[in-house]
Structure 1
Amino acid sequence: MASASANIKYVAAVCGLLLLAKAIYRDFFSPASKVPGLPFLTFLQARWIYNTVTGNYVRHQYAMFKRYGRIVRLTPTEIGLSDPDAIKAMLTSPKFRKTDAYANFQFHGDNIFSTQDVALHRKLKRMIGPVFSPSSVAEVEPLVREAGVKRLAARIAEYAEAGATFNIMELFLYTSCVRCSGADPLQDVIGEVAFGGTFNTLLCKPGEKPHPVIHWINDITYLGILLPLRLWRQFTRSVIKKRLQENSDQADRGEHRNGYVKDVLQRMLESKDELTGSTFDIDELISQSIAMLVGGTDTTAVTLTWGMHLLCNNPKVARALKEELMAAFPDPDQTILHEDTKHLTYLNATIYEILRLYTVATGSQRVTPPEGAVICDIFIPGGYVISPIVEAVHQNTAIYGKDPRAFNPRRWIDVEPDQLFNMRQSLLSFSMGSRACIGQKTDMTPTSLFILKPYDEKLLVRAVSNVD
């Protein structure tokens, strides 16, 4: 027994020494050890966990950038990057794939956001891309206005008449999680723009409980609770089956959907890959639909909330914006379309500035290819996680001018064309490259809100070069 106990202790000691040796090599002798950053990274992993749990991870990234510069080692296997050219090159290269962390967003299977498979992503993009084309988005705009914007304004008016306070972010969440059904445009807005479900969140009176979808989103994305996901799958499956039955019944009666505005669900049901001829089955529709709802709800609501916060705390900007809007639309009863606002310089500049200061989706992590890559003149082995430090890019004075922390929409107006192009190219609010947010605007007019042209990777080899 004594001998067996001694053997166990010996094996444990050897394993411990091997792990220690590996940690020492990784922290001090591996090629990535040349990246500046805190020493003894293995033993400071708890700091990363703490900042992640407390919601201070982005702030921690920015602090590390301020201390160590454009490239910094955040953990034993993660490197922070704030060099704009290097980030652009990485995000536009298919060799840098999404990390394993994106598997947490599979929900009911791989989807356009979660997949690490380049070929599958290309196929999904071919099938889903037309759903978010300018013409498709323009077609559902009246439904968004009627079921979302007008209802939101009515709810705020109720609070104003009562002299009551209210949670504006909660209302924005309800607005961004509503339905846009072609068959019944007054039943709500984005839920069915995402997947065809009616939530009626803006119809609830103060004190009433809305549809639990908001809590499902929070529980799944923040806490990883599985019960809401199961309920969500059941709900989505029932909605899809109902729509399929409605379509079948209409076909049997010789009817068609002409005259109705096609929502996202209907367009996805009719979607077909132009290369393979394949269509979505129910399980694929569930996964794609939930991913789009998660991707479009909190991001929209949080951005709108920060926008209101910035305008309320900067009355000069608010007055300038109001003056432009009043001059363009003097009739308060006029129906305003997106097409009517594209030329409004100050409005577009204000939205750009909100997105720059408070980018909601700051992930876009990628992993170095198996052969490794040279990033900012340092060779990084394969398998390392590269995290763009978005705040550092958006606070870069060489790109966005002096006082980058100030809310100043005119920085997008009082600027030379070449510099304006660089500012827009460096805006990472929707990521960039082939994996950029599929719902971003792609209209390339001079005052377009979300202009992100494909970046020429050949110009960036000085920042990032793949090693053969």
Structure 2
Amino acid sequence: MLINEILAFLVAYWPVVLVASSIAYLLRNRYNRGLNKYPGHPLAAYTDWWRFSDVLGRRAQHTHIELHRKYGDIVRLGPNVLSFADPRAIKVIYGLNKGMTKSDFYPVQQAVSKGRRLQSLFSTVDEDYHAKYRRCVNSAFSMSSLVSYEPLVDNTTVTFLEQTQKLFCNTGKSCNFSEWLQFFAFDVIGELTWSKPLGFIEKHEDVDGIVAFLGKFLSYAGPIGQMPFLDLLLEKNWIKLSLERWGFTKTVFPVTKFALDRSAERYSEMQKIKEGGLVDESSGRGVDLLSKFTQAQHAHPDFMTDTQVLTSTISMVFAGSETTAISLSSVFYHLLKHPRVYQKLMQELEDGTRNGTIEDRPNGAVSWAESQKLPYLDAVIQESFRMHPAAGLILERIVPPQGIDICGEHIPGGTIVGCNAWVLHRRPEIFGADVDAFRPERWTDAPPAQLKEMKATMFQFGAGARTCIGKNISLLEVYKLVPSFLRRFEVRLENPDREWKTHNAWFVRQLDFNTTFRPRPLRATV
């Protein structure tokens, strides 16, 4: 009887009920667990649709900078989301044993194979799973492993330099430098992972549409990650995944297909490693990551499965190429926009060649060890990382149920919190009053205490236990290619007066970065 009366009321007064329910929902969001005391965009407190639309606008990094400069160190980005600008928050939000977990933003970026999600180190939200997984593969990404990877990077670097000469220097054609550097990063990942380049440089094309696919995938993941339930409706819904598992449909990511094909080519070799362990034959080429992931499977058969080996190789393509290409583009762009810096770096390279710091190789290549003896090169790269970090959104974490104190504020459990590298890297009390200016000298002139604080605030690779595991590989690529390329070619902007455009698809890609190249003499100055 009561149910009938309620239904009759709802039918008769549904417009009033709908309006009242909507108002109640919005007010509940606004005053959610006391988060209304934190300022932000007027709409952010009421609905996540605001941050969805902001990220969809592809310039969220600038929105975050502007909001923090207007409202201070804590800004509300959504009904349950707070962004922190104070560098002291890094140790709390991303520190060890703080009870923080990743939000549902990350599973949106999981690849799919045969209707099943592939949990990578980056995308999993299970901290125990992450810890076990990382222990299995951590040694493959250690700084000591760089020595074994350098010959693999050298192979691609030599090809890249020769193809640049052939395709652009010899023809005078303009180069889409951001794309060309992405081709380099993809082929390096191919060499490092499978001892086989993907063919981007040699063919000068987007092989199998992988670059285009990755761009679309990240453009989807950025905004959808602000409202992850949408992914469960659009791409990873139960019906779609079930049909794939049952074999009625077959959707394979291009990156997944490539990884499967490359692994299949070396099936017998990997079976030997899986059964008997890895034997380093000291061939001089270096041991690739597929071999090391399979070695991890041999050492940890109770945890490391074929699926996890596949996921590890896919992750290398997804994360390892995009972020490194963005970093390389940032270095070259800022050099070209600041001729004084460009000339000063070239002088360091010339002096290094003259005094023997850099071996005068016929192809202009610079080794990792040599690059570490060039302080101004390091300053240029660090300043480029500061000005244009790859990630353009906050790295989300969920506060544990009991809540936690961050920068003097008690944040209730369940709140999503995070920092944005673009905001942290522009703290004037850390980096100086001219934080919006590209000035590498801030890294060479800073007193030791300030330099230590600057390095601790740098967030381009994240922080804590979830720091990017491929950090050392990315640094190897950047520190080798930049001096090698500058020694070999004179680089010029095609349109010096035009600013590039950026596209924040979660990682902030660069567009309209077109250059021309001229060969440089490779003999040492006597």
TM-score (normalised: structure 1): 0.83
1: CA distance, partners of 2:273 / 2:415: 53
* Matched letter for residue 217 of structure 1: L
Describe the shift of the 1:39–1:28 C-alpha distance in structure 2 as closer, same or farther (beyond 3 A): farther
Match of 1:167 in 2: 176
Describe the shift of the 1:194–1:295 C-alpha distance in structure 2 as closer, same or farther (beyond 3 A): farther
Query: 1:220–1:229: 8 Å Cα contact kept in structure 2?
Result: no
| Structure 1 residues 402-441: aligned runs within 5 Å | 402-441=433-472
**1:164, distance to aligned residue in structure 2 (A):** 1.1
Query: 1:107–1:229: 8 Å Cα contact kept in structure 2?
Result: no
The yes-or-no answer on 1:337 pairing with 2:367 is yes
**1:6, distance to aligned residue in structure 2 (A):** 4.3
The yes-or-no answer on 1:111 pairing with 2:134 is no
Describe the shift of the 1:257–1:52 C-alpha distance in structure 2 as closer, same or farther (beyond 3 A): same
The yes-or-no answer on 1:390 pairing with 2:421 is yes
Match of 2:190 in 1: 191
What do the CA deviations read for 1:78-97 (whole angstroms, capped 9, x no partner)?
A: 11110110123211144111
Report the secondary structure of 2:77's partner residue. Answer: strand
Report the secondary structure of 2:445's partner residue. Answer: coil
1: CA distance, partners of 2:87 / 2:12: 51
Higher alpha-carbon deviation: 97-106 or 209-218: 209-218
The yes-or-no answer on 1:232 pairing with 2:255 is yes
What do the CA deviations read for 1:136-171 (whole angstroms, capped 9, x no partner)?
A: 22112122112x212221222121121111111111
Query: 2:90–2:463: 8 Å Cα contact kept in structure 1?
Result: no
Higher alpha-carbon deviation: 113-122 or 36-45: 36-45
Query: 2:32–2:80: 8 Å Cα contact kept in structure 1?
Result: no
Describe the shift of the 1:2–1:370 C-alpha distance in structure 2 as closer, same or farther (beyond 3 A): closer
Report the secondary structure of 2:253's partner residue. Answer: helix
1: CA distance, partners of 2:121 / 2:273: 30
1: CA distance, partners of 2:39 / 2:161: 51
Match of 1:214 in 2: 211
Describe the shift of the 1:194–1:5 C-alpha distance in structure 2 as closer, same or farther (beyond 3 A): farther
**1:213, distance to aligned residue in structure 2 (A):** 2.0
The yes-or-no answer on 1:348 pairing with 2:378 is yes
The yes-or-no answer on 1:280 pairing with 2:304 is yes
Report the secondary structure of 2:111's partner residue. Answer: coil
The yes-or-no answer on 1:258 pairing with 2:281 is yes
Which residue, out of 294, 297, 322, partners 1:298? 322
Query: 2:391–2:421: 8 Å Cα contact kept in structure 1?
Result: no
Describe the shift of the 1:441–1:192 C-alpha distance in structure 2 as closer, same or farther (beyond 3 A): closer
**1:234, distance to aligned residue in structure 2 (A):** 3.1
1: CA distance, partners of 2:254 / 2:40: 44
1: CA distance, partners of 2:108 / 2:343: 43
* Matched letter for residue 417 of structure 1: P
1: CA distance, partners of 2:346 / 2:274: 49
Identity %, equivalent residues? 24
Alpha-carbon RMSD across the aligned residues, in angstroms, is 3.0
**1:377, distance to aligned residue in structure 2 (A):** 3.0
**1:198, distance to aligned residue in structure 2 (A):** 4.3
1: CA distance, partners of 2:353 / 2:305: 45
The yes-or-no answer on 1:223 pairing with 2:232 is no
Match of 1:399 in 2: 430
The yes-or-no answer on 1:271 pairing with 2:279 is no
* Matched letter for residue 266 of structure 2: R
**1:77, distance to aligned residue in structure 2 (A):** 1.4
Match of 1:308 in 2: 332
* Matched letter for residue 445 of structure 2: D
Describe the shift of the 1:211–1:75 C-alpha distance in structure 2 as closer, same or farther (beyond 3 A): same
1: CA distance, partners of 2:412 / 2:298: 36
2: CA distance, partners of 1:398 / 1:250: 52
Describe the shift of the 1:195–1:51 C-alpha distance in structure 2 as closer, same or farther (beyond 3 A): farther
Describe the shift of the 1:350–1:228 C-alpha distance in structure 2 as closer, same or farther (beyond 3 A): farther
Query: 1:240–1:282: 8 Å Cα contact kept in structure 2?
Result: no
Query: 2:73–2:84: 8 Å Cα contact kept in structure 1?
Result: yes
* Matched letter for residue 56 of structure 2: V
The yes-or-no answer on 1:243 pairing with 2:251 is no
2: CA distance, partners of 1:88 / 1:134: 23
| Structure 1 residues 76-225: aligned runs within 5 Å | 76-93=79-96, 94-108=98-112, 109-146=118-155, 148-158=156-166, 159-178=168-187, 189-194=188-193, 198-205=197-204, 210-223=207-220
2: CA distance, partners of 1:228 / 1:155: 34
* Matched letter for residue 265 of structure 1: L
* Matched letter for residue 173 of structure 1: Q
Query: 2:111–2:253: 8 Å Cα contact kept in structure 1?
Result: no
* Matched letter for residue 370 of structure 1: P
2: CA distance, partners of 1:45 / 1:36: 15
Query: 2:146–2:472: 8 Å Cα contact kept in structure 1?
Result: no
What do the CA deviations read for 1:265-311 (whole angstroms, capped 9, x no partner)?
A: 1110111597x653532211222221221111111111111211100
Describe the shift of the 1:259–1:335 C-alpha distance in structure 2 as closer, same or farther (beyond 3 A): same
1: CA distance, partners of 2:45 / 2:272: 61
* Matched letter for residue 200 of structure 2: T
2: CA distance, partners of 1:127 / 1:43: 43
2: CA distance, partners of 1:211 / 1:7: 55
* Matched letter for residue 440 of structure 1: K
**1:69, distance to aligned residue in structure 2 (A):** 0.2
Report the secondary structure of 1:413's partner residue. Answer: helix
**1:244, distance to aligned residue in structure 2 (A):** 2.4
What is the aligned residue count?
428
2: CA distance, partners of 1:96 / 1:374: 12
Describe the shift of the 1:422–1:258 C-alpha distance in structure 2 as closer, same or farther (beyond 3 A): same
